[in-house]
Structure 1
Amino acid sequence: MPSAATALSRSPAAPWAGLVPGVVLCATVAAAAFGLRQVPGIGVLSPMILSIVIGMALHNLLGTPAMAKPGVTFTMRRILRAAIVLLGLQLTLGQVVSVGATGLAVIAAALVATFLFTKAAGRMLGVDRGLAELIGAGTSICGASAVIACNTVTRAHDEDVAYAVACVTVFGSLAMFLYPMLAAPLGLAPDHFGLWAGASIHEVAQVVAAGFQRGEAAGEAATVAKLSRVMMLAPLILTLAMMARTHGAAEGARVPTPWFVFGFIAMMLVASVAPPPAELKADIVAATTFLLSMALAAMGLETDLRKLRAKGLRPLALGAVSTLFIAVFSLTLVKTVL
């Protein structure tokens, strides 16, 4: 007669039970990040950023428990993909149309130019290809969310992810404070300032904070422009997947198709045809942010600071020049074509 332990090991629930400690740990870190935002002065940081910082602190000071590792890996892969699919519900085709053809052209041109510039600058600075792509994705699209989403196909080291997130956080935060002070000297109207901020500042929260400092009209224009830019995450991931597949085929490696991107697009279409009620949408936004925070907590719980320090300052310099490039390039377009 089989023992209870043997019966449990044969149970369909047994593999999932092994994931519970790690998933709970990631959720706990994410919850702590949300709690920390209530402390004065820390609320300007997104919970995703705080999650990776807390996760890194736990891993490097105490170590990630062995029993938690399966759940941490699951969070980095499966839960992350689910969060990206849900992210599509925050966008509608109507929002994209409201930006206008010229505005969308400015956003797309700035995105493509910045990503290609960052890759080229990365080669010149001697930064690893994977890390340069992550910095380029975070700078050109939507900060930490783009970094961890693109890593599903670039498959860089966890330390590369942490470094790229640090870059987009530092320089995006600087932009959040500097842009509103530059609006008047540059002679930008509220809608033009909003487009500039939405087309070039990294995180959604940073764009919203910068935009509304110049008034409601600027804030709304910045938010819509930024969400339109987030929509372009899907084609970038698909492009990176094709590039990685070509590169992997040459080395005998197999790169999976990012099916979750099609889920992202499907959710955007659902939100366009049958938008959820305001209260439900607010809950979806909160849930998506929490799941993304869990994914970044998992990244932190796998990041070794010694390996991070070994990468030196070159990737940080790459993040700086990439941020400067997208700021100047998008401003030039806004001033010349609008």
Structure 2
Amino acid sequence: MTIPPENRVASPATHCSAAYAGLPFHPPAALEAAPGALLAGAIAVSAFLAHAVPGMTALSPMILAIVLGMAFHNFIGTPAIAKPGITFSLRRLLRIAIVLLGFQLTVGQVLDVGGRGLIIVAASLTATFLFTVWLGRLLKVDRKLTQLIAAGTSICGASAIIATNTVTEAHDEDVAYAVACVTVFGSVAMFAYPLLPRLLHLDPHAYGLWSGASIHEIAQVVAASFQNGQRAGEFGTIVKLARVMLLAPVVFALSIMQRLAAGRSAARTARPPLPWFVLGFTAVVALNSAMRIPPEVSKEIALVTTFLLSVALAAMGLETDVSKIRAKGLRPAVLGAISFLFIASFSLALIKLV
């Protein structure tokens, strides 16, 4: 039986929405997001605990978080009640984390790399990104997945992938695939690079530059570069941080390209939003450069940043189906492998030439 509109009783949710309609903060929405955010947070905590286990320290909590999230989703199942919190983690918390990432960088650190070092880093990043996009089209890999692999390989691994995805808006399975690529090939570099300095006639400075300019994750750069001494490790870390600095212009450029493409397409009426959180990231870098933040405070901020990024990746894992990843085949993995070999050889060639 159909109830006439005039006799219908408004639901409690409707009354709540009306009651809070004029407020800038919507408490019922926050309560609705709590289960999913807490679940993603619990998985992130588990990732940190797993990271502390001997033999697991080479894998960042972010990578472990997406793996644990995927395991939960595919073996147990993500409850429907968690959906609003997962969306909140993938949007709000992720953007906050990217802004906070700026506290790990200063303009002085970038300048310490030197003019020639910055040229090598910027040229390697740009060439690798463009080469990967071109090769992805050649291999007929999905455009969005190609952009994620290009960002992860050329900039800074998982952090760059999830930051780039705020613009590309790829499926969660694409993000998981791209993270898997940078994890596997970055781990290969982490173990292979320390065997090569003598063979390639690289002094500690050159080896640190090569490691920082070509290995995917910050943790992988630290693990590989310090194998060749303190000087190589410190310089490799600084170079890698300078490379992370380029995350902002790359994501912003991709956003502009998406907006232009949307403007030319008659089929799309809405344009992708500009990533204003990237401007926040840049502003925080400037703030961190202008004022001295105590080391213990910086350490705590870095920990919070990594945790928030881990929560976002855990949320992504909670929406990722392994069967859909398998369905993508091996071509994206081939793309990731060739892209890794390209940035390693291209940056090495520049170091030898410059």
Q: Secondary structure at the match of 1:95?
A: helix
Residue ranges of structure 1 left out of the alignment (5+ in a row) = none
Tell me by how many angstroms 1:191 deviates. 0.7
* Structure 2 residue corresponding to 1:59, chosen from 73, 94, 101: 73
* Structure 2 residue corresponding to 1:132, chosen from 146, 170, 179: 146
**1:332 is the counterpart of 2:349:** yes
**CA RMSD after TM alignment:** 1.4
Give 1:274's aligned residue: 291
Give 1:180's aligned residue: 194
**1:48 is the counterpart of 2:62:** yes
How far apart in 2 are the matches of 1:34 and 1:228?
A: 26
Q: What's the CA shift string for 1:221-273, capped at 9, x where partnerless? A: 10000000000000000111011112222142420110000000000000000
Give 1:286's aligned residue: 303
Q: Which has the larger radius of gyration?
A: 2
Q: Secondary structure at the match of 2:109?
A: helix
Tell me by how many angstroms 1:5 deviates. 6.8
Q: What's the CA shift string for 1:4-57, capped at 9, x where partnerless? A: 776555344111110111111111000000001122211211000000000001
How far apart in 2 are the matches of 1:201 and 1:127?
A: 23
Opposite residue 277 of structure 2, the aligned amino acid is F
Opposite residue 325 of structure 2, the aligned amino acid is L
Q: Secondary structure at the match of 2:114?
A: helix
Q: What's the CA shift string for 1:71-128, capped at 9, x where partnerless? A: 0011011100000000001100000111011000000000000000000111111100
Tell me by how many angstroms 1:275 deviates. 2.7
Q: Secondary structure at the match of 2:153?
A: helix
Tell me by how many angstroms 1:305 deviates. 0.9
**What is the aligned length?**
337
Among all aligned residue pairs of Structure 1 and Structure 2, give the percentage whose two residues are the same amino acid: 60
Give 2:7's aligned residue: none
**1:69 is the counterpart of 2:83:** yes
Give 1:204's aligned residue: 218
TM-score of the pair, normalised by structure 1: 0.97
* Structure 1 residue corresponding to 2:184, chosen from 129, 150, 170: 170
How far apart in 2 are the matches of 1:37 and 1:90?
A: 20
Give 1:213's aligned residue: 227
Give 1:81's aligned residue: 95
How far apart in 1 are the matches of 2:13 and 2:323?
A: 40
Q: Which runs of 4+ in 1 moved over 2 A?
A: 2-12
How far apart in 1 are the matches of 2:134 and 2:299?
A: 39
CA pair 63-100 structure 1, distance change in 2 beyond 3 A: same
